[in-house]
Structure 1
Amino acid sequence: MTATSASSPSASSSSSSLSSPASVSARPAAGPPRGRRWLPFSPWHLLLAPLTLIFAIPLIWLLLSSVMSNAEINRFPPALWPSGIDLGGYRYVLGNAMFPRWFANSLIVSVVAVASNLLLGSLGGYAFARMRFAGSRVLLGLMLATMAIPFQLTMIPTFLVMKRLGLIDTLGALIVPSLVTPFAVFLLRQFFLSLPRELEEAAWIDGCSRLRVLFLIVLPLSRPALSTVAVLTFLTTWNDLTWPLIAINHDTQYTLQLGLTTFQGQHHTQWSAVMAGNVITVLPVLLAFLFAQKSFIQSITSSGLKG
């Protein structure tokens, strides 16, 4: 007992000396992360900045070509920089009497497709994520399998269906096939699976129905996924050319992409007008993506957490 009591003060003194302020202050301070001592940004930016410039070259070339004259565009070797700002292409495009109509047609088709995909995709995604019914997994697998079918195999059956419905040569032929897509249902389902069930169960205890839970609780928490679906759907329908080229015959029902093809004739092409029209066409898509960029990245990362 005496030896044990005698050794305890020395042990306590040694432990107190190890934890004393002097010893703590003697420890080397943690320096800045390695690689950031001489750079105000991440070293990865040295690799990403040139890659970004490479991907931006086509857009920069499109913008520069839109302010060139036809002679400069057709010159060989091609001019890398315009000698002056020539807005003839923009005047030609905006002076076309049908251009506002084409722009409105594209806007109508894209907005309706976005709204329907958000509504129907949310309903389908929530059903697959939270409801269990006979054949739900089989039905989900069949729906996802349709994403692997190329459009070239479905355009003829789709055309025949639209013809039976009497929608050929109308905007309805462009809207109906895009009302809901398997990708929208799948992406929203994946995001709904990442949400905690406790919030929905608390709402059920309070007497909320499934639809009220979806619209009042789940969808407000799913803004990143909804933004992603909206941007991708808008991008797809706005830039679609193949299906409008098949389903639309009259120029009053042309979309913007289909209308721009009229500037390319058999013997002469207004390249400055084509470039200017493409700049005007790209702007809404670019602005939509920049506006929803943060939500887009957040949705892509979070929707892959659970299968």
Structure 2
Amino acid sequence: MRRKTVQKRKKSTCSVLILSTLAFLVIVPVGYMIVCSFQKETGTGFSLMGYYHVFLAEPGYLMKFWRSLALCLAIACGQTIVSCMAGTAFAKYRVIGKKVLFGLMLLFMLLPIQVTLLPNYILLDRLQFLNSWKALIIPGIFAPFGTVWLTFVFRSLPGEMLEAASLDGANRLQNVFLILAPAARPSVITLFILSFVESWNMVEQPITFLEGVRQYPLSVFLAGIQGNSMAVQSVCGILCLFPVTFLFFYHQEELMEGIGESIWN
């Protein structure tokens, strides 16, 4: 018993050390960025000029922020809705060629994004979607990850739920959004957050599908502010961190529960 207790303590100590090291590596750059945001252009002394430039003197930064936020919300909402419907079809209904289609979605999900850039570029060019946000929103909405994610989640839910709802007169859309989605609420919220974070951090797609700095989202625009002072760069970095940090802390319980459900499924 003592040996087991000692081994457990060693394992817990090692895990704490590893997690503490990882947390330190993440927190230190963020803390350094926050400190730099309050510095003068000379690099010494306290100043709020960085915040003044970003929020008041040069509104272009905030415009980029709000436009990028709208873009990512459109992608995340669209992907969540489409994935709920497609995941229900794969998990609960009989569809001709369902296994083949699902296997193809798994294959496309495993492909690196660099492999799919050229085919997507050709397709978007023929659809005349290039140089507009359609080139980012439409591929993002129909990304295979969300469908695969919710298919496994919905398979774990009992089929009797849909049978009872159908007997009560519910149609298929009601089965999706009033029965399955609320039952798998943590996983659906987790999918929304992951989709938002992925679109918020995308770089290759805007550079490939868009032309002109005005159309670039904040993730690409940040690379073009290197000529500004360190304070302005730090404030823009903090502004870029805000939506993701807010979503994480606001939906922390659902995020942990949703990831746990996906691991079990």
Q: List per-residue Cα deviations over 1:9-52 (Å, max 9, x = no partner).
A: xxxxxxxxxxxxxxxxxxxxxxxxx79xxxxxx97885444542
Q: CA deviation at 1:214?
A: 1.7
Matched, 1:68 2:39: yes
Match of residue 52 from structure 1: 23
Match of residue 303 from structure 1: 262
Whether the 8 Å contact between 1:93 and 1:277 is mirrored in structure 2 is yes
Bigger mean CA offset, 187-196 vs 63-72: 63-72
Q: List per-residue Cα deviations over 1:80-108 (Å, max 9, x = no partner).
A: xxx53322322333322422321222012
Whether the 8 Å contact between 1:105 and 1:253 is mirrored in structure 2 is no
Percent sequence identity is 30
- Local SS of the residue matching 1:228: helix
Note the residue ranges of structure 2 that are not aligned, 5 or more in a row: 7-11
Which of 223, 247, 261 is matched with 1:288 structurally? 247
Higher helix share: 2
Note the residue ranges of structure 1 that are not aligned, 5 or more in a row: 1-33, 36-41, 73-82
How many residues are matched? Answer: 254
What does residue range 126-145 of structure 1 map to in structure 2 within 5 Å? 126-145=88-107
Q: CA deviation at 1:168?
A: 2.2
What does residue range 41-190 of structure 1 map to in structure 2 within 5 Å? 46-47=16-17, 48-72=19-43, 83-94=44-55, 95-190=57-152
Q: CA deviation at 1:140?
A: 0.6
Alignment partners' CA distance in 2, 1:85 and 1:44: 40
Alignment partners' CA distance in 1, 2:155 and 2:14: 33
TM-score, normalised by the number of residues in structure 2: 0.86
Which of 279, 298, 305 is matched with 2:238 structurally? 279
- Local SS of the residue matching 2:263: coil
**Alignment RMSD (CA, Å):** 2.2
Match of residue 207 from structure 2: 245
Alignment partners' CA distance in 1, 2:32 and 2:134: 35
Matched, 1:209 2:171: yes
Alignment partners' CA distance in 2, 1:188 and 1:163: 31
Match of residue 224 from structure 2: 262
Alignment partners' CA distance in 2, 1:70 and 1:159: 42
- Local SS of the residue matching 1:303: helix
| Structure number, greater radius of gyration | 1
Q: CA deviation at 1:285?
A: 0.7
Q: CA deviation at 1:213?
A: 1.7
TM-score, normalised by the number of residues in structure 1: 0.75
